[in-house]
Amino acid sequence: MPELPEVETTRRGIAPHLIGRRVTGVTLRRTDLRWPIPPQITELLPGQRIDAVERRAKYLLLHTAAGSALLHLGMTGVLRVLPPDALVGKHDHVDIALEATATEAPRVLRFTDARRFGCLLWQPPGATHELLAALGPEPLTDDFDGDLLWRLSRGRRAAVKLFLMDNAIVVGVGNIYASEALFAAGIDPRKPAGDVSRARYARLAAEVKRILAWAIERGGTTLRDFIKPDGAPGYFFRELQAYGREGEPCLACGTPIRQVVLGQRSTFWCPKCQR
């Protein structure tokens, strides 16, 4: 599943082609993805100018005066900005047509999703969609730090990795980056969240920020279906320290990396470096 850096990479890739442009039409080749596509997408979005492209957690919002189109890439979703006559593939479910500008011909924002676990929904002006209402802070903002993690973890017996992946605590720290941040911070992912000290949470928060920022700059982590909007793969996957390296020597101490399943997700850690 695309994680926060991949979604942010997508936002940065499509935003320059969308902001300030008017939507001239919407083509739905099916009426549902993970959920039914609401009628506002075809009734209210055409004719509107896209004023901003925002990311909230792993959601993308195309803001207009009439409301916002809310997109999630799911497991296999991809957004691309293409010529209107670009060949339509089997899994190309939505085209949002964009007017021409002084410097660019007409374009379409095409949503491709083979497994259809993504979504295209609508958020009215001044409202917060129910999918966004209970989300925690963004990890790359000042609202997220070690003190927040320490305070919210008191009394919790769940594994610290699952705690870190809880979107009510902090958004967008998915499986790959949680494993990498815990490795960098030297924390055993199986450790109860309530047993981690304030000082260690300070380091963990700092590593989350560092790793996510670095991954965004490197273009996200390419796994299976996800590629950047310009068609080039991300490169951060070549630099993973723990994730996906079961049995391989730890890059810090040489101890074989171990794997365990936590919350139905594969977790990788070094038994010597992470305590």
**CA separation, residue 168 to residues 13, 81, 118, 122, 243 (Å):** 27, 32, 20, 22, 23
CA neighbor of 60 nearest in space, from 172, 143, 225:
172
Residue 30 in marked binding region: no
pTM across the whole model: 0.91
Per-residue pLDDT tens digits of the chain, which is 275 residues long: 678 998 999 999 999 999 999 999 999 999 999 999 999 999 999 999 999 999 999 999 999 999 999 999 998 899 999 999 999 999 999 999 999 999 889 999 999 999 999 999 999 999 999 999 999 999 999 999 999 999 999 999 999 999 999 999 999 999 999 999 999 999 999 999 999 999 999 999 999 999 999 999 888 766 544 556 666 666 666 689 999 999 999 999 999 999 999 999 999 999 999 99
- Residue 212 DSSP symbol: H
Q: What is the CATH number of domain 146-269?
A: 1.10.8.50
Of the CATH numbers 3.90.320.10, 3.20.190.10, 3.40.50.2300, 1.10.1760.20, which one belongs to the domain with range 4-132? Answer: 3.20.190.10
* 146-269 has the same fold as 4-132: no
Query: What residue spans define the domains of the chain?
Result: 4-132, 146-269
Cα–chain-centroid distance for residue 165? 12
Residue 17 in marked binding region: no
Residue 115 in marked binding region: yes
Residues annotated catalytic, as ranges = 2-3, 58, 265
Round to whole Å and give the CA distance between 86 and 239. 35
For residue 62, the cross-strand partners are 53, 69
- Strand ordering across the sheet containing 67-72: 52-56, 59-64, 67-72, 119-123
φ/ψ region of 163 (left if φ > 0, alpha if ψ in -120 to 50, else beta) reads alpha
